Amino acid sequence: MASVTFDAATRVYPGQERPAVNELNLDVADGEFLVLVGPSGCGKSTSLRMLAGLEDVNAGRILIGDRDVTDVQPKDRDIAMVFQNYALYPHMSVADNMGFALKIAGTPKSEIRQRVEEAAKILDLTEYLDRKPKALSGGQRQRVAMGRAIVRQPSVFLMDEPLSNLDAKLRVQTRTQIASLQRRLGVTTVYVTHDQTEALTMGDRIAVLKDGLLQQVGTPREMYETPQNVFVAGFIGSPAMNLGTFKLEGDQAVLGSARVPLSRATMNALTDENDNQITLGFRPEALEPTSEGGNGIPVKVNLVEELGSDAFVYGSLAGEVADADLGSGEDADQIIVRVDPRRTPMKGDTIHVTIREGEQHVFSHTTGERLPS
């Protein structure tokens, strides 16, 4: 096994001025499961392909263990890649698909069969070894693709959105299988996804990218509880964090009749550039209903999403704050509130909510960076 290091790795596609990946500095520990996550076009797949040797590195370098592999051919990097579209040979059996790379490498037939059978047992594919891919379900095909990587016994697994083609229920089932399998094998794994729920449930650590720039690296709990900027705050979490612009009045953030006290540390970190404004973030579960006459934020209910054990209100700001800049994630027109599923409001109702003390996230209005709270 081996660690992975991106040392200011940069990729600029021909004809483009802006790098697809710009000076990526990232360390993946030996045996770690690291998830690269971000919106489409953020550079996560490009980063993975740079590690695989499928994309050139225009500046910086990439190391696997202590070995600089920046200019090494993909076949010599000791990596195995699992693709989004499975990439199975339709005319070959499951066993032949899983062992094909070993066959090309000249591995003895007895060893190939042994490795294939061991991988099939791990992946619960033993009874399907003689079938062709067309006779398998989507989840089984993806497990065959995983098996093909496992038999290689590589130093690093690379996975490029391997669950995107599966239905919702199978995706949940398969992601738990992949995570538990990786922990059992202990192979360093870099996993790319645009689904932040996958990132939160699978990874030892998460790296969030935007426009080719690394935004934050941390454990799922760190990313959820202490996002370092407005982008990470709005991207990580489902439903997304509510983010809004509040006015500063003394040591309070004010939106209509809602007033949120700010700590001395927050006030000391503010500069004149903030123009007497501050960005507050708060999760749907950090809001609680209050009486109409209280100091709450008025929300007109547009939709109630009932999930059995949970219920979420999707609404828009009402009353004197109807035009305020407050919304969930990148949606500036919608605020999300988690409510008691046994006492849900009706569509068209107006509820008033307050932020629980100490559960707000504070960001600079100008830079979007996190402020001490």
Tell me the pLDDT tens digit for each residue of 49-64. Answer: 999 999 999 999 999 9
| C-alpha separations of 97 from 113, 143, 163 in Å | 12, 11, 19
| C-alpha separations of 197 from 35, 37, 97, 181, 363 in Å | 11, 10, 31, 19, 23
Tell me the pLDDT tens digit for each residue of 96-153. Answer: 999 998 999 899 999 999 999 999 988 889 999 999 999 998 889 988 998 999 998 8
CB atoms within 10 A of CB 133: 19
- Pairing of the two strands 205-210 and 350-355: unpaired
Q: Classify domain 4-234 by CATH number.
A: 3.40.50.300
Tell me the pLDDT tens digit for each residue of 10-67. Answer: 999 999 999 999 999 999 999 999 999 999 999 999 999 999 999 999 999 999 999 9
What is d(CA 214, CA 42) in angstroms, rounded to the nearest whole number?
9
In angstroms, how far is the first alpha carbon of the chain from the final one? 41
Lowest pLDDT segment from 207-216, 269-278, 335-344, 349-358: 269-278
Tell me the pLDDT tens digit for each residue of 239-278. Answer: 889 999 999 998 999 988 888 899 999 999 888 777 889 9
Backbone phi and psi for residue 279, each to the nearest 5 degrees, phi listed first: -100, 125
pLDDT at 7 exceeding the cut of 90? yes
User: Is 140 in a helix, a strand, or coil?
Assistant: helix
pLDDT at 330: 66
User: Do 4-234 and 240-364 come out as alike in CATH topology?
Assistant: no
Which of 230, 169, 168, 227 shows the shortest CA–CA distance to 200? 227
Where is 110: in which H helix or E strand? helix 109-122
Tell me the pLDDT tens digit for each residue of 169-225. Answer: 888 888 888 898 899 889 999 999 999 889 999 999 999 999 999 999 999 999 999
Residues in CB range of 183: below 8 A, 6 or more apart: 33
pLDDT at 324: 83
Domain ranges of the chain: 4-234, 240-364
- pLDDT-derived band at 373 (thresholds 50, 70, 90) equals confident
Do the Cβ atoms of 327 and 207 come closer than 8 Å? Answer: no
Biggest alpha carbon distance in the chain?
Answer: 79
Tell me the pLDDT tens digit for each residue of 300-325. Answer: 999 999 998 899 999 998 888 877 88
pLDDT at 94 exceeding the cut of 80? yes
CB atoms within 10 A of CB 36: 30
pLDDT at 67: 95
CATH homologous superfamily of domain 240-364? Nucleic acid-binding proteins (2.40.50.140)
Do the Cβ atoms of 325 and 281 come closer than 8 Å? Answer: no
pLDDT at 293: 57
Query: Helices (DSSP H) in 153-306: which residue ranges?
Result: 168-185, 196-202, 220-225, 230-235, 264-269
What is d(CA 36, CA 14) in angstroms, rounded to the nearest whole number?
24
